[in-house]
Amino acid sequence: MPAQRVAVITGGASGLGYAAARRFLSEGMRVALWDISDPNLQRATAELAQFGDVWGCQTDVSDVYSIEQAAQRTRDVFGDADTVLAAAGIAGHVLPYVDYPLSGWHDVINTNLTGVHLTCRALVPTMIASGWGRVITVSSMAGKEGNPKQIAYSSAKAAIMGFTKSLGKELAQTGVLVNGIAPTLVQSPMLDEASVLDPQAIDALRAKIPMGRLGRPEEFAALAAWLASDQCSFTTGMTFDLSGGRSTY
Ligand SMILES: NC(=O)c1ccc[n+]([C@@H]2O[C@H](COP(=O)([O-])OP(=O)(O)OC[C@H]3O[C@@H](n4cnc5c(N)ncnc54)[C@H](O)[C@@H]3O)[C@@H](O)[C@H]2O)c1
């Protein structure tokens, strides 16, 4: 493991990525936040600076040129990243399948799935070359079970689990471990937005959680920190459950 750790967190200006950034910084890692929202990046970097060496880079993970620029700028600022947490994502429409617009499908697939691939494509080669790295993807219970009226989101999140398995096995002997987290409902701005769009759907999802509550961002961050560490040493290609007992498979 490198003495001075460098992590890239996509979607790190908000929600789960933000919580993980705070945790990584508190463990001494330098953290580059790649996020599409410049105002959120400004706010997040100002708030997180008290915990360590953080830098924000406005990036659209669905755009290969934006990613390549972000990777180069990150190298210039911090050096090569040894860890990536690919948390950028959008929920997309909550609509019946027959009404789901094709443009919405492309937006969700490009951000949530292709964004993970483009991020890894830009950062993983130097991890392999150095002989150490940690990749953490973020899927969702929606990818395991399929949320009605969220065809693109459910499809993208299921595909991320396949991506994690494939890359994990392929890199198993390189020192680069690839694992994922599949949360059910965790309190976050994305969830607040979805609650406004379809409160009944959120209530129905909450009722399925045996612990009877939503997850907390710091619970996500704790699992991400373990997956990013040397303590995680004999597991790759696995997507870990974060669901209050909802998913036992
Ligand atoms: N919160 C939950 O309940 C929950 C449950 C399951 C999975 N997830 C997943 O966790 C991840 C984080 O979600 P969150 O709840 O923290 O949401 P959030 O909306 O709080 O954060 C998502 C971040 O991604 C950024 N983003 C969106 N599109 C982007 C793009 N094209 N390029 C770069 N950044 C972009 C946003 O600006 C935002 O800062 C997502 O992948 C989401 O699907 C969340």
CA atoms of 32 and 114, how far apart (whole Å): 20
Give the distance between the most distant pair of CA atoms in the chain. 53
Q: What are the 10-residue block averages of pLDDT along the chain, 249 residues in total?
A: 95 98 98 98 98 98 98 98 98 96 98 98 98 98 94 98 98 98 88 71 84 95 98 98 93
For the chain, the structural domain boundaries read 6-186+217-233
Residue ranges of alpha helices (H) inside 79-216 are 102-108, 115-130, 141-145, 151-170, 189-197, 199-207
State the distance from the centre of ligand 1 to the C-alpha of 190, rounded, in angstroms. Answer: 6
Using a pLDDT cut of 90, give the percent of the chain over it.
Answer: 89
> Who lines ligand 1 at CB under 6 A?
10-11, 13-17, 35-37, 40, 59-62, 87-90, 111, 115, 138, 140, 183, 185-186, 188-191
Does the 6-186+217-233 domain belong in CATH 3.40.50.720?
Answer: yes
- Scored b (16 or more CB within 10 A) or e, 68-97 reads eebbebbeeebebbbbbbbbbbbbbbbbee
- Residue 79 CA: distances (Å) to CA of 65, 107, 208, 214: 19, 31, 44, 37
pLDDT digits (tens, 9 = 90+) for 130-162: 999 999 999 999 999 999 999 999 999 999 999
pTM for the full predicted model: 0.97
Structure tokens at 177: 């471990």
pLDDT digits (tens, 9 = 90+) for 165-201: 999 999 999 999 999 999 999 988 777 776 666 777 7
Q: Report which of 189, 142, 129 is spatially closest to residue 2, judged by C-alpha positions.
A: 129
